[in-house]
Structure 1
């Protein structure tokens, strides 16, 4: 139930959900409280315009993504840990497993293995029954990294974790069971890295950040210096609305995890 509520309740705090609530308030108060209705409409519009604004979106996303950028080349470690969340199951009409928006995680993890950064790669991620369904995400990730040249003998799986806390707990068990030192290269989306690092460290694992899937790059920031970029940043954009929502999701997740004592 916690997992379901953790997906459901924050929806009403995200820009789109909050705007919808404000529009419902506007409809309810339209006839008897027209001033309240106007205020609700104004607030809904303001929320959407701010959340889809280029400067706002980049600033909120960057505040998380740029916290753990490696200052030098990544060191070698006993294992590479790749967190799930970026692979789609082989559900018809898909001919094979596919990478989603965060699919850079599994691709980057395989790349690091092939560069000799670690002798073992741990793929961590289950699959929520009522969301996509199918085999565990770790199994789907294994298919991809094997196709990229990672031998099956080097792959360990955590097929049951359904959130970042369970990722860390299960990876700790795998490391201890296999007598692997608790020092890993942690691969996940840059946006997700601050929460992930804190959780793994709380479990006694020395997690070296290996972020990928950056939404904001130096190129994005340079675009804002041109008049074309400045103009486009002022206009509403669904992509930026989605990026802002992802960042807010992480901040809410950090707050919830802190309240539960997981950080």
Structure 2
């Protein structure tokens, strides 16, 4: 987390005995703040990493939209509704494709991701949303045991063995998460067509507020990007993708 880097460097700038290293720590902290809070640089990084959008009119018809979760949160104190994060496009966009006749069924994969038991699997929460949207229950298949992207792919591959008639698969997840997801599914022997949603990158704008003025959201979003790139590298090392 860049915030932690800045905090550590500022502490070093205060407590180090060497004046030289105190200055180096201070200037390093300021440099990180300046670079990582720049909206233009952050947007360029997102544009380079995210898998670009596929125009809806270019999509063919697919047997199943495989939806990766990670966008809902079970609240024990407010259990009478579904709580979603920014990435709700992961199920809203395939729902749009379903209504357009480009997707016939949904396969929603994802557990709770929590160490402790007692939480409703995310796949079940997304299923409830789809049912409330009028999707028939027979058009939704859920897999609620996966705790990470590797398990999403492996468990989905197991389910697909029971449905050999499903040949054309559309893989739906956030644009920043698509590289790792496609790699995991290919490794599991599941060929899919990627369909990115939930974009952090935007079109390039050369305006003063984008190039000069610092942004706290640009700074905080770097944590997610660094986390995902690190996860991709670790998955490569482990042979998951």
Say whether the fold is shared (TM-score over 0.5).
yes
The answer to whether residue 175 in structure 2 is matched with residue 197 in structure 1 is: no
C-alpha distance in 2, partners of 1:125/1:207? 17
The answer to whether residue 47 in structure 2 is matched with residue 69 in structure 1 is: no
Name the residue aligned to 1:10: none
Q: What is the DSSP-based 3-state SS (H/G/I as helix, E as strand, rest coil) of the residue aligned with 1:119?
A: strand
1:39 to 18, 24, 28: 24
- Residue ranges of structure 1 left out of the alignment (5+ in a row): 1-13
C-alpha distance in 1, partners of 2:165/2:33? 48
The normalised TM-score by structure 2 is 0.91
Matches within 5 A, 1:43-122: 43-65=28-50, 67-70=51-54, 73-93=58-78, 95-122=80-107
Q: How many residues of Structure 1 are paired with residues of Structure 2 in the alignment?
A: 240
Name the residue aligned to 2:7: 20
C-alpha distance in 1, partners of 2:11/2:234? 27
Q: What is the DSSP-based 3-state SS (H/G/I as helix, E as strand, rest coil) of the residue aligned with 2:226?
A: helix
Structure of higher RCO (CA pairs closer than 8 Å, 6+ residues apart): 2
Contact residue 40 and residue 210 of structure 2 kept, 8 A: no
Query: 1:5-64 CA deviation, whole Å, 9 max, x = no partner?
Result: xxxxxxxxx3112222223333331xx212212211211221122111111100110012
C-alpha distance in 1, partners of 2:233/2:87? 22
The normalised TM-score by structure 1 is 0.83
Contact residue 127 and residue 135 of structure 1 kept, 8 A: yes
C-alpha distance in 2, partners of 1:20/1:94? 37
Q: What is the DSSP-based 3-state SS (H/G/I as helix, E as strand, rest coil) of the residue aligned with 1:37?
A: helix
Q: Residues 111, 90 of structure 1: CA spacing in aligned structure 2 closer, same or farther, 3 A cutoff?
A: farther
C-alpha displacement of 1:94 = 6.4
- Range moving further from structure 2, 235-244 or 87-96: 87-96
Contact residue 68 and residue 194 of structure 1 kept, 8 A: no
Query: 1:178-202 CA deviation, whole Å, 9 max, x = no partner?
Result: 3343531011111111111121112
C-alpha distance in 1, partners of 2:108/2:33? 37
Matches within 5 A, 1:133-212: 134-212=119-197
Name the residue aligned to 2:240: 262
Query: 1:91-115 CA deviation, whole Å, 9 max, x = no partner?
Result: 3246511220111111112222222
Q: Residues 157, 17 of structure 1: CA spacing in aligned structure 2 closer, same or farther, 3 A cutoff?
A: same
Q: What is the DSSP-based 3-state SS (H/G/I as helix, E as strand, rest coil) of the residue aligned with 1:82?
A: strand
Runs of 4+ more than 4 Å apart: 130-133
- Residue ranges of structure 2 left out of the alignment (5+ in a row): none
The answer to whether residue 229 in structure 2 is matched with residue 251 in structure 1 is: yes
